Amino acid sequence: MSREQSDYDVIVIGAGAAGLTAAIAAADAGSSVLVVEADVQTGGSSRLSGGHFYVAGTSVQREAGIAEDSADAMFEHYMTFNQWMVGPSIVRRYCDLSAPTFEWLTASGVKFPTAMLYVSGVGDVPRGHQPEGGGQAVVLALEAQLASRGIDLVLATRVEHLICDDAGSVSGIETSDGPVNCGSVVVATGGFGANAKLIAEHYPDAAKAGNWGWYIGSPMAQGDGLKLGQEVGAALDGHNKGLLLTTPGFSHDLEVLLPDWLILVNPEGRRFVNETAPYTVLGGLIQRQGGTVFAIFDEAIRAAAKRTPFFNAYWVDEVLAQKADEGIIIRAESIEALAEQTEIDPKALKGTIDRYNKDCDQGGDSVFFKKTQGAPQPIETAPFYAVEVRPAIICWTGTGLRVDAEVSVLGTDDQPIPGLFAAGETVGSLHGDRYIGGGGSFGPCIVFGKLAGENAAAYASGRRIEP
């Protein structure tokens, strides 16, 4: 079947932020577009997210007095932060397109107040842009544009297979209702955080968490895009990449920061990190210690741990007392007894606490330079507590379809599969071992969604895709 005989120019699989953006971009390029979504509503995990956008060189930054940030600076930071163990061409494309795509999104009605600009992740340049209304507001703003562009949306329909023509080009989709033909396809089905089998296969670090692990995204995140792509010869990228957030495992509350009044020790009984380190790196640092560490504090600290906007579910006095009574938290009358129950070398643990207490007496942290809200609190009043902490909350998954800088899906022969593009969490070629910062997963959904839609439209119309 020729492209002229297709039912649609472009079919987008998935109606999260990436898919909706791709559909709008393809329609704006003159294509007829169908969006197919497995869920009963649009948004996917994007609707549940904060909708933050990691980007450099924006009008919001300039309004905040940050005039010198640039795509070049963002690229250098991104690559250095990940020790250049990510694809430079993909990262470069994201950095170059992030600001113009951000401005496109603001023109679509999404508001990013200057007051909500913040330093995201590790660094000192504010690149985290937080929208009013979070990810849901972004999804609603995008969804509102479908009807005016004549974009067809089908919900509660899962794509079962991709269709290829005799030349090997992707030319349609197969659903339970039958085939739909097209000129090109954008796969934007999200990640696989809700699929335990794929977690075990592609994200073993997350699988190690066992029954501690849980996923914060949509239950529809089943990894459909990986299956669809592999069936037509796509390569995967980003094995064992993703973001794990820390938890004491008391409940499924998303409270991932640690209070500044505790210390973390590894199985050898030594501190290994500034306990207030960004969530973007803390999970990885714990993984380097074997995946399980202990938060240590004393009775005086526990009794003073009151609820705050940041600490409401775990690190508060009555919750900690209850969990100790239940035996979930270890409580002991001496440091030596605490070490015995945690199977930590008592001399190492006592030495670590003695050194920390000496620093507290001197008003600082000479080892990891932790800054505290008030005076640092020594650990010296019995009973003493040890709380097991693990990186176990799956925020997003990083294994996905391998793409080039135009988000064309690459086959196992490293050549583009004609007519197939990917965007959002389905892309596996962007992330390294460490998460760049808040907005570093949602931002690419918009950036690469727009690029995928434009390039899918160009392919469907027979135009050459220009970088």
Q: Pull the structure tokens for residue 212.
A: 């501690």
Residue 467 lies in a domain: no
- Give per-residue pLDDT as tens, 181-224: 999 999 999 999 999 999 999 999 999 999 999 999 999 999 99
Q: Which domain holds residue 262?
A: 245-393
Say yes or no: 309 and 249 in one domain. Answer: yes
Which of residues 393, 419, 452 is at a domain's end?
Answer: 393
- The angle subtended at Cα 155 by Cα 152 and Cα 156, nearest 5°, is 155
- Give per-residue pLDDT as tens, 321-353: 999 999 999 999 999 999 999 999 999 999 999
Q: Please answer whether residues 434 and 84 qualify as being in contact, where contact means their C-beta atoms are separated by less than 8 angstroms.
A: no
Say yes or no: 250 and 236 in one domain. Answer: no
For residue 2, is pLDDT > 70?
no
- Give per-residue pLDDT as tens, 55-101: 999 999 999 999 999 999 999 999 999 999 999 999 999 999 999 99
Residue 362 lies in a domain: yes
> What pLDDT band is residue 256 in, cutting at 50, 70 and 90?
confident
Could you tell me the CA-to-CA distances from 450 to 48, 137, 443 in Å, in that order?
21, 18, 11
Q: Please answer whether residues 371 and 276 qualify as being in contact, where contact means their C-beta atoms are separated by less than 8 angstroms.
A: yes
pLDDT at residue number 4: 44
For residue 5, is pLDDT > 80?
no
Say yes or no: 367 and 413 in one domain. Answer: no
Beta-sheet pairing, 170-175 with 159-164: antiparallel
pLDDT at residue number 26: 98
Mean pLDDT of 151-159: 97
Whichever domain contains 79, its CATH number is 3.50.50.60
Write down the residue that tokens 């849980």 correspond to: 214
Residue 466 lies in a domain: no
Residue 154 lies in a domain: yes
> What pLDDT band is residue 229 in, cutting at 50, 70 and 90?
very high
Which of residues 345, 373, 393 is at a domain's end?
Answer: 393
Say yes or no: 407 and 284 in one domain. Answer: no
Mean pLDDT of 410-427: 98
> What pLDDT band is residue 434 in, cutting at 50, 70 and 90?
confident
- The angle subtended at Cα 136 by Cα 130 and Cα 139, nearest 5°, is 100
For residue 16, is pLDDT > 60?
yes
Closest to 429 measured CA to CA, from 233, 244, 241: 241
What's the number of domains the chain is made of?
2
Say yes or no: 378 and 302 in one domain. Answer: yes
Say yes or no: 172 and 284 in one domain. Answer: no
Say yes or no: 21 and 151 in one domain. Answer: yes
Which of residues 373, 393, 413 is at a domain's end?
Answer: 393
Residue 465 lies in a domain: no
Say yes or no: 272 and 368 in one domain. Answer: yes
pLDDT at residue number 3: 40
Q: Please answer whether residues 400 and 191 qualify as being in contact, where contact means their C-beta atoms are separated by less than 8 angstroms.
A: yes
